[in-house]
Amino acid sequence: MSKFVERFNELINEKDCKLECIAKEANQSIYDLYRWKQGKSKYFPSLNKLIALADYFSCSILFLLGEEEENSLTNPNKDLPCFSERLKSIIKEKRIPITQIAKRCDLSCTTMIYDWINGKAKPRVEVLIKLAKVLDCSPDYLLGRE
């Protein structure tokens, strides 16, 4: 979380923008933005909020989270495909059994993965990162942003 807070503050300063502007343009709660900026939140933004912030700053998910030193995605696709369909397609292409994905993502069962595939839910940010590693792709590729 500390890497995210640091990078979030860097991006705000680099873009020289006010949180009110980010809140309006990225459709975010000003309260959440202040908490992330000050490092007072224990949790990452939800996946949808993280995508909106990454779109606002024109950067990759990993860059925004502080996991990349250089931004690998300066022009993200903002017209995202359906996550469940994309995930199904990538799992089929990679030929990795659902049980193996669950195990390698440290999930207790396959139910969550089936919920993602069936469009009932999306993974938490931490799990999305693990899922992308298991599927040998970036989180942005998995989301259809690249």
CATH number, domain containing residue 39:
1.10.260.40
Pair 88, 60 in one domain = no
Among 10, 8, 12, residue whose Cα is nearest residue 20:
12
**Residue numbers of the domain that contains 110:** 83-143
Is position 75 within any domain?
no
Pair 15, 52 in one domain = yes
pLDDT recorded at residue 47: 93
Pair 91, 136 in one domain = yes
- With 90 as the cut, is the pLDDT of residue 1 above it? no
- With 90 as the cut, is the pLDDT of residue 17 above it? no
Within 13 Å and on the Cβ side, how many CA atoms surround 12? 18
Among 142, 146, 79, 77, residue whose Cα is nearest residue 116:
142
Is position 99 within any domain?
yes
Pair 57, 87 in one domain = no
DSSP 110-146: SHHHHHHHTTS----HHHHHHHHHHTTS-HHHHHT--
pLDDT tens column, 61-75:
999 999 999 999 999
Calculate the average pLDDT of the chain: 94
d(CA 65, CA 60): 9
CB atoms within 10 A of CB 31: 10
Is position 70 within any domain?
no
Domains contained in the chain, number? 2
Asked if 143 and 135 touch (Cβ cutoff 8 Å), the reply is no
- To the question of pTM greater than 0.75 for the whole model, the response is yes
User: Would you state the structure tokens that stand for residue 18, as one six-digit string?
Assistant: 């006010």
pLDDT recorded at residue 130: 97
d(CA 133, CA 129): 6
pLDDT recorded at residue 20: 93
Pair 90, 45 in one domain = no
Is position 74 within any domain?
no
